[in-house]
Amino acid sequence: MEKELLLCIVFLPFAGAFILPLLGLMSKPLRNYTALSFVLASTILSSLLIPDVIHGSTFTFAWQFPLGFNFVLQADMLAVFMAIVSSFIGCIIVLYSFGYISHYENQGEYYLMVVLFIGSMMGIVYSANLIFLYLFWEVTAIACWRLIGFYREREIVIRANKAFLVTVFGALVMLIGFIGIYAQTGSFDMDTIRVASKNNPISNTLVLLILFGIFSKSATLPLHTWLPDAGVAPSPVTALLHAAVLVKIGVYVYARLFIDTFTIDPVWQTIVPVIAAISALVAAGAAMIETDMKRIIAYSTVSQIGFIFLGFAINNEMCIMGAMLYILMHGLAKGGLFLCAGIIEQNTNVKDITKLGGLIKTMPITAITFLFCAFSVMGIPPFGGFFSKYMVIAGAINGGQSAIAFVFIVGAFLTIIYLFRLFTLIFMGEMKTADAKEGSPVMITSIVILAGLSVISGILIYYPSEFVRLAVNQMLGMVQ
Amino acid sequence: MTEQILLFPVLLPAIAGLLMVLLSKRFGSLKELIAVGITLVNLVLAVYLYPMQMSYAAQWFGSGIEFSLRLYQFSAFILAAVAGFGFLIVLYSVAFMRTRQSLSQYYAYTLLSLAMVNGAVLADNLIALLFFWEGLLITLFGLIFIGGPSSFKSAVKAFVIVGITDLCMMFGIGLTAFRAGTLTISQIHLPLDAAGAVAFTFLMIGAISKAGSMPFHSWIPDAAVDAPLPFMAFLPAALEKLLGIYFLARISLDMFELTAGSWVSLMLMIIGAITILLAVMMALIQKDYKRLLSYHAISQVGYMILGIGTAVPAGIVGGLFHMINHAMYKSCLFLTGGAVERQTGTTDLEKLGGIGRKMPVTFICFIIAAAAISGVPPFNGFFSKELVYDGALERGWIFYAAAILGSFFTAASFLKLGHSAFLGKASGAIKETVKEAPAFMLIPMIVIASGCVFFGVYNALPLNNFIQPVLGGKIDGHSFAGWPTSTMLVAITVTVIIAALANHWYGISRTGKGIGAVDHIHYAPVISNIYNMAEKRYFDPYNIGLVLVNGISRVAWWIDRGIDWIYSSFTVKVTYAASTAMRKLHSDGYPAYIAWALAGVIIVIAVTLKRI
Residue of B nearest to A299 (CA): B560
pLDDT value for B336 = 87
* Helices vs. strands in chain B: H and E counts, helices first: 25, 2
Task: Report CB contact under 8 Å: B553, A461.
Answer: no
pLDDT value for A8 = 83
- The alpha-carbon gap from B564 to the nearest alpha carbon of chain A, in Å, equals 6
**What average pLDDT does the segment B67-96 reach?**
85
Q: Tell me the backbone φ, ψ of residue A55, rounded to 5 degrees.
A: -90, 10
> Cβ of B495 under 8 Å from any chain A Cβ?
no
A60-112 pLDDT, tens digit each: 887 777 777 788 888 888 888 899 999 899 999 989 888 888 888 788 888 88
Higher pLDDT, residue B25 or A87: A87
Identify which of A288, A389, A413 has the shortest CB distance to residue B164: A413
> Cβ of B164 under 8 Å from any chain A Cβ?
yes
**Taking each helix axis from N to C terminus, what angle separates B380-395 and B263-284, rounded to the nearest 10 degrees?**
130
Between CA B124 and CA B122 the distance in angstroms is 6
Task: Report CB contact under 8 Å: B553, A289.
Answer: yes
pLDDT value for B476 = 64
Q: Which of B140, B146, B171 to mutate to probe the A interface, most A CBs <10 Å?
A: B171
Contacts of B323 (CB under 8 A, 6+ apart): B241, B242, B245, B246, B304
Task: Report CB contact under 8 Å: B163, A162.
Answer: no
- The alpha-carbon gap from B173 to the nearest alpha carbon of chain A, in Å, equals 8
Rounded to an integer, what is the distance from CA A239 to the centroid of its chain? 9
Whether the CB-CB separation of B17 and B111 falls below 8 Å is answered with yes
DSSP result, A107-157 = HHHHHHHHHHHHHHHHHHHHB-BHHHHHHHHHHHHHHHHHHHTTT--HHHH
B583-612 pLDDT, tens digit each: 877 776 788 888 888 999 999 999 988 876
Interface A-B, measured as beta-carbon pairs within 8 A, has a size of 130
B578 confidence band (pLDDT: 50, 70, 90): very high
> Cβ of B177 under 8 Å from any chain A Cβ?
yes
Identify which of B156, B552, B563 has the shortest CB distance to residue A285: B552
Task: Report CB contact under 8 Å: A282, B559.
Answer: yes
Q: What residues of chain B lie within 8 A of the CB of A429, using their CB?
A: 152
pLDDT value for A374 = 92
Between CA A392 and CA A394 the distance in angstroms is 6
Q: Using CA atoms of B417, B419, B422, B426 in order, give the dihedral in degrees to the nearest 10.
A: -100
Q: What residues of chain B lie within 8 A of the CB of A413, using their CB?
A: 164, 167, 549
Among the listed residues A173, A161, A71, the one whose alpha carbon sits nearest the alpha carbon of residue A123: A71
- The alpha-carbon gap from A302 to the nearest alpha carbon of chain B, in Å, equals 12
Collapsed DSSP state (helix, strand, coil) of residue B193: coil
Between CA B471 and CA B197 the distance in angstroms is 21
Between CA B78 and CA B86 the distance in angstroms is 12
Neighbours of A69 (CB within 10 A): 15
Rounded to an integer, what is the distance from CA A285 to the centroid of its chain? 22
Whether the CB-CB separation of A344 and A363 falls below 8 Å is answered with yes
Diameter of chain B by CA atoms? Answer: 118
Give the amino acid at A83.
A
Among the listed residues A47, A121, A299, the one whose alpha carbon sits nearest the alpha carbon of residue B557: A299
**What average pLDDT does the segment B214-241 reach?**
82
Among the listed residues B72, B82, B91, the one whose alpha carbon sits nearest the alpha carbon of residue B440: B91
Residue of B nearest to A291 (CA): B557
pLDDT value for B603 = 93
pLDDT value for B314 = 81
Indicate if the pLDDT at residue B261 is higher than 80. Answer: no
Task: Report CB contact under 8 Å: B160, A416.
Answer: yes
> Cβ of B193 under 8 Å from any chain A Cβ?
no
B334 confidence band (pLDDT: 50, 70, 90): confident
Q: What residues of chain B lie within 8 A of the CB of A169, using their CB?
A: none
> Cβ of B159 under 8 Å from any chain A Cβ?
yes
Range picked from A405-419, B86-100, B469-483 for highest mean pLDDT:
A405-419
Between CA A229 and CA A238 the distance in angstroms is 10
End-to-end CA distance of chain B: 93
Indicate if the pLDDT at residue B1 is higher than 60. Answer: no
Buried b (16+ CB within 10 A) or exposed e, B227-261: bbbbbbbbbbbbbbbbbbbbbbbbbbbbbbebeee
Q: Where are the domains of chain A?
A: 266-480
Between CA A236 and CA A332 the distance in angstroms is 13
- The alpha-carbon gap from A460 to the nearest alpha carbon of chain B, in Å, equals 8
Among the listed residues A451, A452, A446, the one whose alpha carbon sits nearest the alpha carbon of residue A101: A446
> Cβ of B64 under 8 Å from any chain A Cβ?
no
Contacts of B559 (CB under 8 A, 6+ apart): A282, A285
Q: Which residues of chain A have pLDDT under 50?
A: 479-480
Whether the CB-CB separation of B369 and B300 falls below 8 Å is answered with no
Q: Which of B15, B137, B165, B167 to mutate to probe the A interface, most A CBs <10 Å?
A: B167
Task: Report CB contact under 8 Å: A285, B554.
Answer: yes
Between CA A7 and CA B440 the distance in angstroms is 70
- The helix (H) or strand (E) run that includes residue A404 is helix A402-427
> What value of ipTM does the predicted structure carry?
0.89
**What average pLDDT does the segment B530-557 reach?**
84
pLDDT value for A480 = 40
pLDDT, chain B, mean: 83
Residue of B nearest to A375 (CA): B138
Which of A342-351, A456-465, B23-32, B66-75 is predicted with the least confidence, judged by mean pLDDT? Answer: B23-32
Whether the CB-CB separation of B514 and B424 falls below 8 Å is answered with yes
Q: What residues of chain B lie within 8 A of the CB of A469, using their CB?
A: 62-63
**What average pLDDT does the segment B202-219 reach?**
87
Between CA B216 and CA A444 the distance in angstroms is 38
- The alpha-carbon gap from A467 to the nearest alpha carbon of chain B, in Å, equals 11
Collapsed DSSP state (helix, strand, coil) of residue B70: strand
Task: Report CB contact under 8 Å: A465, B170.
Answer: no
Which of A270-279, A444-453, B24-33, B173-182 is predicted with the least confidence, judged by mean pLDDT? Answer: B24-33
Q: Which of B63, B132, B182, B558 to mutate to probe the A interface, most A CBs <10 Å?
A: B63
Between CA B447 and CA A240 the distance in angstroms is 58
Whether the CB-CB separation of B158 and B235 falls below 8 Å is answered with no
**What average pLDDT does the segment B302-320 reach?**
85
Among the listed residues B74, B71, B9, the one whose alpha carbon sits nearest the alpha carbon of residue B41: B9
Whether the CB-CB separation of A321 and A469 falls below 8 Å is answered with yes
Task: Report CB contact under 8 Å: B553, A406.
Answer: no
> Cβ of B137 under 8 Å from any chain A Cβ?
yes
Side-chain-side CA neighbours of B27 within 13 Å: the count stands at 13
Identify which of B153, B159, B171 has the shortest CB distance to residue A405: B171
Whether the CB-CB separation of B60 and A462 falls below 8 Å is answered with yes
Burial of B26 (0-12, 13-18, 19+ CB in 10 A): exposed
